[in-house]
Amino acid sequence: MGEFVSLEVEDGIGTIRLNRPPMNALNQQVQTELGEASKAAAADPEVFGVIVYGGEKVFAAGADIKQMQAMGYTDMVRAAQGLQEFTRALAAIPKPTVAAITGYALGGGCEVALACDFRIAADNAKLGQPEILLGIIPGAGGTQRLARLVGPSRAKELIFSGRFVDAAEALAIGLVDEVVPAEEVYAAARRSMARFRGGPALAMAAAKEAIDRGLDVDLQTGLEVERMLFTGLFATDDRQIGMDSFVANGPGKASFTGR
């Protein structure tokens, strides 16, 4: 798809692959291509789940600091919107997503992982938001998504210190969901997404939207979001198929169409 980011689809699982050696630094071109790949995966009806993968050695070691070094305030005013757009596009994919993390996932790389629904890490993974060491803060969603995932106190400690978190600690604090040997990360991510094959696509999208939008509002507003999305699913074929199958054959036997 792009020079540094590709979307490969196999058996309904889309893999967004970062390939900018040696460290998959997220310059503006990579950011743009990642956003485009996310939108393509979202729009592809053959894709039911998405893996974001940086390869066997590194996920993404952060923004391209050499590119940012020469930027002034007015330059960043123009660039900052794009800095968040690519992680917003990834987070907005209306399908399950998982980051398959090997090696470093730092700064912008960690923010890419945070924009996914799940994170599977290699036992050699290192995650962190070290922007404070450069005199700045995370700018692609890290202050918001990290706090929502691990809680504000832990997020502040990690962002204030800029320290790296190894795989074991990341699992303990909920920053990642699973830790596997480094050579098994991509296979584990495929297994994670394969669970959703044949699922009701519109209901999955509604569930993701209800959870994500609900986190940004008060409880009563979140309940209203849920109510509207729940009601809307009664206009889908899959709702009728699922309920008819349940009554006739019990749970877990429906063959959904995605409509």
Given a contact cutoff of 8 angstroms between Cβ atoms, the answer to whether 64 and 26 are in contact is yes
Q: Which of 126, 188, 195, 189 is nearest to 158 (CA)?
A: 126
**Residue tagged active-site, from 25, 41, 42, 63:** 63
Query: In angstroms, what CA-CA distances link 228 with 209, 210, 221, 235, 236?
Result: 11, 9, 11, 12, 14
Catalytic annotation present for 63? yes
**Residue tagged active-site, from 99, 105, 131, 170:** 131
Q: 22: cis peptide before it, omega within 30°?
A: yes
Q: What is the DSSP string of 111-129?
A: HHHHTSSEEEEETT-EEE-
The separation between CA 15 and the C-alpha centre of its own chain, rounded to angstroms, equals 12
Catalytic annotation present for 46? no
Q: Which of 167, 160, 242, 169 is nearest to 200 (CA)?
A: 242
Q: Which of 42, 121, 46, 55 is nearest to 86 (CA)?
A: 42
Q: Is 27 exposed, middle or buried (0-12, 13-18, 19+ CB in 10 A)?
A: middle
**Residue tagged active-site, from 111, 115, 167, 254:** 111
Catalytic annotation present for 178? no
**Residue tagged active-site, from 14, 62, 108, 141:** 108
Catalytic annotation present for 209? no
Strand arrangement, sheet containing 178-180: 5-10, 13-18, 49-53, 97-101, 118-122, 178-180
Active site residues: 63, 108, 111, 131
